[in-house]
């Protein structure tokens, strides 16, 4: 017996029990603090945490998303500080007067954006029409999309075609799938092009509203050339037309006949958007396609066809329903423009040069 009345072996045992209890308490409090952090985290980080706690049950799952500790590290990640007095680009407009960002190379951090969306579990519907001879563009569109378009995210392609059996088999990455939907072939290319609004509206109502969170509607005579990442996602997204982004509003080829539902007066207009890509949340794109479809019908009843078909109606819509994000012409280039000007640092998605007389039934 020592002077405190506890034998040395017993003292070591009690010390051991105490340490074990201390470690247990530390782990318990660590767990408690995670939900507290969560409530202060942005949405994407919250999702990351949730996924981790689920996946940590199954230790065999490959490529685990960030742990809560890693999330903290991520929040302190070593990226360049945004400087309030130093604009990332001073050669281009990076925000609209209604405070929507305009996305250009150099204005965002791709790694940061990717890590924000990595475990977000969102699905992006992507519609593409390949009717008549335009089926020839589909393979390149899909193959290059699998290389560059929203890599690592869930993408559901909806291919609308009159020849389902001709849709090429393209290997899709994990989490990506394709639905083929048969549509009629109208005899005029203008009709094929402008019917897209109606068909997209209907398909959103029938299934896309259940199957996806965001949607992009794209032309098929296009190829991806480099990253098209989740920096493009937004509630309502329009893209600057590569031929018109330097022009003033009076030079835009808006519909100028007051009889048309797409009419825009000379003294109005922000940008000229190209109809080869538009997108946003499924809800907003549904509203857009519904309104444009209605306006197309109104024009049709007056025997009117807007100067650039659905593109004229899209421009009307986006003038009076401001997009929440605008993509620069990096996201919609045209190979016919040749080399890139100084302000376009990267070509991400571009229209291929096509022989209109060869691919269209009527020109």
Ligand X SMILES: CC(=O)N[C@H]1[C@@H](OP(=O)(O)OP(=O)(O)OC[C@H]2O[C@@H](n3ccc(=O)[nH]c3=O)[C@H](O)[C@@H]2O)O[C@H](CO)[C@H](O)[C@@H]1O
Q: Which residues bind ligand X (CB under 6 A)?
A: 129-132, 134, 189, 192-193, 219-221, 274-276, 308-311, 351, 360
311 binds Mn ion (CB under 5 A): no
- Euclidean distance between CA atoms 180 and 206, whole angstroms: 14
- Euclidean distance between CA atoms 300 and 291, whole angstroms: 14
The answer to whether the annotation marks 293 as part of a ligand binding site is no
311 is catalytic: yes
Q: Which entry of 231, 311, 330, 358 is annotated as an active-site residue?
A: 311
Q: Which is nearer to Mn ion, 211 or 221 (CB)?
A: 221
The answer to whether the annotation marks 219 as part of a ligand binding site is yes
Q: Which is nearer to ligand X, 192 or 318 (CB)?
A: 192
What SS3 state is found at 241?
coil
The answer to whether the annotation marks 111 as part of a ligand binding site is no
Instruction: State in angstroms the smallest separation of the CB of 113 from ligand X.
Output: 28
Strands 176-182 and 325-327: unpaired
- Euclidean distance between CA atoms 11 and 340, whole angstroms: 78
Question: Are the beta carbons of 311 and 230 closer than 8 angstroms?
Answer: no
**Binding string, 70-109, against Mn ion, x = CB under 5 A?**
----------------------------------------
Question: Are the beta carbons of 135 and 185 closer than 8 angstroms?
Answer: no
**Pure H helices in the chain:** 8-38, 43-55, 68-75, 110-117, 138-148, 189-194, 196-203, 209-211, 282-301, 309-320, 356-359
**Binding string, 180-199, against Mn ion, x = CB under 5 A?**
--------------------
- Given Mn ion, ligand X, none, residue 271, with its beta carbon under 5 to 8 Å by kind, binds none
221 binds Mn ion (CB under 5 A): yes
Instruction: State in angstroms the smallest separation of the CB of 348 from ligand X.
Output: 17
- Euclidean distance between CA atoms 104 and 48, whole angstroms: 27
Q: Which is nearer to ligand X, 108 or 243 (CB)?
A: 243
Q: Please identify, among the stretches 58-66, 122-130, 215-223, 342-350, the one whose residues bind Mn ion according to the rule CB under 5 A.
A: 215-223
What SS3 state is found at 182?
strand
- Given ligand X, Mn ion, none, residue 309, with its beta carbon under 5 to 8 Å by kind, binds ligand X
- Euclidean distance between CA atoms 330 and 348, whole angstroms: 6
Instruction: State in angstroms the smallest separation of the CB of 105 from ligand X.
Output: 23
Upper half-sphere CA count for residue 254 (Cβ side, 13 Å):
29
211 binds Mn ion (CB under 5 A): no
Instruction: State in angstroms the smallest separation of the CB of 217 from Mn ion.
Output: 12
Instruction: State in angstroms the smallest separation of the CB of 240 from ligand X.
Output: 12
Q: Which is nearer to ligand X, 214 or 273 (CB)?
A: 273
Distances (CA, A) of 117 to 10, 42, 120, 143, 254: 54, 11, 5, 23, 36
The answer to whether the annotation marks 131 as part of a ligand binding site is yes
Q: Which is nearer to Mn ion, 66 or 274 (CB)?
A: 274
The answer to whether the annotation marks 303 as part of a ligand binding site is no
Residue nearest to Mn ion (CB): 219
The alpha carbon of residue 7 and the mean position of all alpha carbons in its chain are separated, in whole angstroms, by 70
DSSP string for residues in 12-80: HHHHHHHHHHHHHHHHHHHHHHHHHHHTTS-HHHHHHHHHHHHHTTSTT-SS----HHHHHHHHT---P
The answer to whether the annotation marks 130 as part of a ligand binding site is yes
330 binds Mn ion (CB under 5 A): no
- Euclidean distance between CA atoms 320 and 114, whole angstroms: 32
The answer to whether the annotation marks 295 as part of a ligand binding site is no
What SS3 state is found at 299?
helix
Residues designated as active site: 311
Known binding positions:
129-131, 134, 219-221, 241, 253, 311, 334
Binding site for Mn ion (CB under 5 A): 219, 221
């Amino acid at each position: 017996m020592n002077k405190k009345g506890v034998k040395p072996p017993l003292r070591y045992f009690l010390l051991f029990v105490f340490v074990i209890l201390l470690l247990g308490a530390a782990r318990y409090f660590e767990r408690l603090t995670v939900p507290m952090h969560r409530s202060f985290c942005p949405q994407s980080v919250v999702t990351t945490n949730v996924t981790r706690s689920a996946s940590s049950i199954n230790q065999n799952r490959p490529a685990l998303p960030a742990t809560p500790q890693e999330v903290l590290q991520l929040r302190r990640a070593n990226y360049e500080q945004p400087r309030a007095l130093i604009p990332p680009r001073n050669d281009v407009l990076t925000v609209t007067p209604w405070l929507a960002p305009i996305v250009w190379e150099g204005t965002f951090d791709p790694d940061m954006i990717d890590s924000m969306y990595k475990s977000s579990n969102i699905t992006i519907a992507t519609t593409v029409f390949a009717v008549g001879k335009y089926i020839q563009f589909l393979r390149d569109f899909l193959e290059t999309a699998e290389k560059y378009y929203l890599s690592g995210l869930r993408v559901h392609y909806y291919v609308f075609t009159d020849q389902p059996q001709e849709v090429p088999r393209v290997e899709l990455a994990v989490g990506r799938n394709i639905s083929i939907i048969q549509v009629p072939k109208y005899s005029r290319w203008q009709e094929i092009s402008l019917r897209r609004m109606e068909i997209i509206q209907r398909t959103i109502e029938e299934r896309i509203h259940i199957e996806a969170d965001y949607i992009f509607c794209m032309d098929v005579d296009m190829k991806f050339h480099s990253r098209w990442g989740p920096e493009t996602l937004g509630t309502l997204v329009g893209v600057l037309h590569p031929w018109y982004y330097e022009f003033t509003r009076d030079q835009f080829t808006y519909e100028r006949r007051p009889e048309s539902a797409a009419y825009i007066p000379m003294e109005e207009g922000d940008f000229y958007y190209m109809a080869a890509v538009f997108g946003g949340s499924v809800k907003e794109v549904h509203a857009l396609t519904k309104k444009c479809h209605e306006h197309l019908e109104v024009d049709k009843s007056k025997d009117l066809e807007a100067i650039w078909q659905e593109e004229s109606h899209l421009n009307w819509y986006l003038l009076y329903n401001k997009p929440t994000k605008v993509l620069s012409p990096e996201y919609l280039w045209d190979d016919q423009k040749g080399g890139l000007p100084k302000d376009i640092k990267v070509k991400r998605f571009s229209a291929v040069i096509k022989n209109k007389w060869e691919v269209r039934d009527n020109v």
